Structure 1
Amino acid sequence: MSLETTASAQVRARIALAAAIALGALWIGAAFVPSVIWAGVVTVAVEPLRRRILARWPGRRTLAASLITLAVVLIVVVPAVIALSRAMIEAQGVALWLAHARADGVPVPAWVATLPIGSAEIVAWWNTHLLTAAAASEQFGRIDMDTLLKQSQLLTHNVIRRVVVFAFTIVVLFFLIRDRETVAHQLERGARRAFGEAGPRLGRQIAASVRGTVDGLVLLGLAQGIIMAVIYASAGVPHPILMGLLSGLASVVPFGLIAVLLIAVLLLIIKGSVTAAIVVGILGFAINFVIDHFLRPGLIGGATRLPFVWVLIGIVGGVETIGLLGLFVGPAVMAALVLIWREWIADGDIGEPSGLPERVSVTSQS
């Protein structure tokens, strides 16, 4: 057997061994892969802030990582605690309302009489099924308490699991931010060795896409939540701050604000403020339409020159496939795909920047 044959066999064996070890590591740590990806997304998103901190305190990488990690914890934990405490209070209120309804019945709300159509039919149904204590007990007695108990246990399990994942994400995030240069250098070197010059360019494209997605989703979601909180408070929606917080969070998901908006409109109708409900519905829908169809695609697509249809496919498809993480991973994957396609149809081979001037200008921005 020649030396060349032996060397070739050794290369194949090393590749097979490396692939087996990588698959084994992925299998063992599969539960924490989302944490690592989340930490990577946040690291890319906060890079401008990290540079500003290091410019103010040169060489203080640990301090910069600590400050940014603490800020991320506060941004996530404080709204979660507010929402959870409010949910517990509302749950107690619902339980108390159900007890009174079973004991005394539920009178017809005053807002039913103000409806332009269908008020008579609703009143007739209400008198039959909810007005008396016996009728209300029969209706609410159909609620399966065992099913509710199982659902609450499942919810508790999911909450505990997400808390563990979040804690691990914070740990990984701290080290990624602190050692960002080392990690980026290793990734770039590995990508160049594996894919040539196209590898680092794909990495820069993905990073630009993630940063643009964060700007388009998180920052616009925050602005949208503040605007909606002001509208809710002006219209008299109950708990306007909480509803504004939910609106900001829901607006991150495509068409998610519509669900919260419908709840706000329903609460106003129950209060009898039909006109205010119509105004809130129109304003909320108009704001959501402008942001989802113009501002958000412009921010996300402008960072990587992605067409709107690819941005939409990346966001919606990502959410459908891997959940909330898909909001950021989806557009990044689509950005890499579009870059590969542009280089494929260029004059040179993939990895040769001379074939497509437009591509060079895009990647240089990231």
Structure 2
Amino acid sequence: MDISTPAQVRARVALAAAIALGALWIGAAFVPAVLWAGVVTIAVEPLRRRILARWPGHNTLAACLITLAVLLVVVVPLVAAVSRAVVEAQSVALWLAEARAHGVPVPLWVATLPYGSAEITAWWNSHLLTAAAASEQIGRLDTDLLVTQSRSLTHSIVRRAVVFAFTIVVLFFLIRDRDAVVQQLERGAERGFGDAGIRLGRQIFASVRGTVDGLVLLGLAQGILMAVIYGFAGVPHPILMGLLSGVASMVPFGLVAILLIALLLLVVNGAITAAIVVGILAFVLNFVIDHFLRPGLIGGTTRLPFVWVLIGIVGGVETIGLLGLFVGPAVMAALVLIWREWVADGDIGAEDEHASASA
């Protein structure tokens, strides 16, 4: 049996830390992909258990089915949105060409505005009504800036596509080997931090699950309801607008941007009353979800006051983007758990002696 000296132990720890930092530095670009795969793995665990209950021992089959489902859920709406964007871009290009050739007449909805109708009409007649005026206004667009932005957008799309492909690969292996990965993580947490490490890890998992339920599931439900409202109100492309509303509702105050676009489309079409009704219904729906349903789902699972959940969500999005929606509340939940155990009697992470005696 080898007996290491204290110097050798310190050297091994330093070597392990250096290797870990080196690996993190090399794979830094794919850390978001790994985190996304981890979030999705935690979210789909109930589905995985149902599949394995039906076909015990078929971990690979469960991983294949769930990964394919996730791929379809992401890719199909994305392809539909891109296709619609291409069609809309062609329509915009044709509109610009028509405007430069013949000018743009004043829209009918301008005359229905309660205020500012005369001012808008006068500006429109002098800047867009004739072909020469419209051509001058459109010609002011900075073509060099548009080319630069399009190149940057193309590079961003390619990069995100690579990260997404890597996420799908990691997701498959995480789902297939989920039990082994969890056992290793719990073993490592126990060796490093004792029982407190295991509780901390489980709290993080529960926080991610609660955040997924509170954001994603409620966001999808809100998107469906908004699509129905848009459809009855006559908003163009109600299904697409509902999908965008559902996704935007996951981000604090994100629904406001999509709602303003929908209301603007209604106003442009002259449906002022419909715009007012849609605005009121959307406000009421968003108020109920944000102040009653979402705090109950997220706060109840994470054991956090909703103000801390909100700080985690907003701060997470501000710091690391969309991934912060799920990572932020998990970090806040871990911090609050550590604080609660720190201010409790006994060592941090130790079970309460009175609770243990009563048990």
- Whether these two folds match at TM > 0.5 is yes
1:200 alignment partner AA: I
How far residue 293 of structure 1 moved from its aligned partner, in angstroms, is 2.2
> Residue 57 of structure 2 corresponds to which residue in structure 1?
59
Q: Does 1:180 find its partner at 2:178?
A: yes
> Residue 219 of structure 1 corresponds to which residue in structure 2?
217
> Residue 332 of structure 1 corresponds to which residue in structure 2?
330
Once the two structures are superposed, residues 60-93 of structure 1 have per-residue CA deviations (whole angstroms, 9 ceiling, x without a partner) of: 1001111110110011101101110000100010
CA distance in 2, matches of 1:140, 1:357: 73
> Residue 236 of structure 1 corresponds to which residue in structure 2?
234
User: Does the 8 A contact of 1:235 with 1:276 survive in 2?
Assistant: yes
Please, which of 306, 316, 337 is the counterpart of residue 318 of structure 1?
316
Q: Does 1:308 find its partner at 2:306?
A: yes
Once the two structures are superposed, residues 147-184 of structure 1 have per-residue CA deviations (whole angstroms, 9 ceiling, x without a partner) of: 11111111111111111101000000000000011000
Q: Secondary structure at the match of 1:353?
A: coil
CA distance in 2, matches of 1:12, 1:265: 64
Select between 202-211 and 341-350 the one with higher mean Cα deviation.
Answer: 341-350
Structure 2 unaligned residues grouped into runs of 5+ = none
Taking a change above 3 Å as real, the CA distance of residues 357 and 211 of structure 1, as seen in their structure-2 partners, is farther
| Number of aligned residues | 355
How far residue 355 of structure 1 moved from its aligned partner, in angstroms, is 5.2
Q: Secondary structure at the match of 2:5?
A: helix
How far residue 305 of structure 1 moved from its aligned partner, in angstroms, is 1.4
> Residue 124 of structure 1 corresponds to which residue in structure 2?
122
Runs (4 or more) in structure 1 with deviation over 3 Å come to 355-358
> Residue 364 of structure 1 corresponds to which residue in structure 2?
none
> Residue 131 of structure 2 corresponds to which residue in structure 1?
133
User: Does the 8 A contact of 2:315 with 2:328 survive in 1?
Assistant: yes
How far residue 294 of structure 1 moved from its aligned partner, in angstroms, is 2.0
User: Does the 8 A contact of 1:258 with 1:285 survive in 2?
Assistant: no
Please, which of 263, 268, 271 is the counterpart of residue 270 of structure 1?
268
How far residue 352 of structure 1 moved from its aligned partner, in angstroms, is 1.1
> Residue 250 of structure 1 corresponds to which residue in structure 2?
248
Once the two structures are superposed, residues 248-295 of structure 1 have per-residue CA deviations (whole angstroms, 9 ceiling, x without a partner) of: 111111111110000000000000001101111111122112212221
User: Does the 8 A contact of 2:37 with 2:174 survive in 1?
Assistant: yes
Please, which of 45, 48, 52 is the counterpart of residue 47 of structure 1?
45
User: Does the 8 A contact of 1:35 with 1:165 survive in 2?
Assistant: yes
CA distance in 2, matches of 1:356, 1:211: 30
CA distance in 1, matches of 2:314, 2:19: 33
CA distance in 2, matches of 1:132, 1:252: 44
1:338 alignment partner AA: V
Please, which of 204, 224, 242 is the counterpart of residue 206 of structure 1?
204
> Residue 89 of structure 1 corresponds to which residue in structure 2?
87
> Residue 18 of structure 2 corresponds to which residue in structure 1?
20
How far residue 354 of structure 1 moved from its aligned partner, in angstroms, is 2.0
CA distance in 1, matches of 2:40, 2:197: 21
Select between 238-247 and 346-355 the one with higher mean Cα deviation.
Answer: 346-355
> CA RMSD, aligned part only?
1.4
User: Does the 8 A contact of 2:52 with 2:62 survive in 1?
Assistant: yes
Structure 1 unaligned residues grouped into runs of 5+ = 359-366
Once the two structures are superposed, residues 103-143 of structure 1 have per-residue CA deviations (whole angstroms, 9 ceiling, x without a partner) of: 11110000001011111111111111111111111111110
> Residue 348 of structure 2 corresponds to which residue in structure 1?
350
Please, which of 148, 160, 163 is the counterpart of residue 162 of structure 1?
160
Identity %: 80
Taking a change above 3 Å as real, the CA distance of residues 137 and 340 of structure 1, as seen in their structure-2 partners, is same
How far residue 356 of structure 1 moved from its aligned partner, in angstroms, is 8.4
CA distance in 1, matches of 2:118, 2:71: 52
User: Does the 8 A contact of 1:343 with 1:355 survive in 2?
Assistant: no
User: Does the 8 A contact of 2:207 with 2:298 survive in 1?
Assistant: yes
User: Does the 8 A contact of 2:39 with 2:326 survive in 1?
Assistant: yes
CA distance in 2, matches of 1:318, 1:27: 21
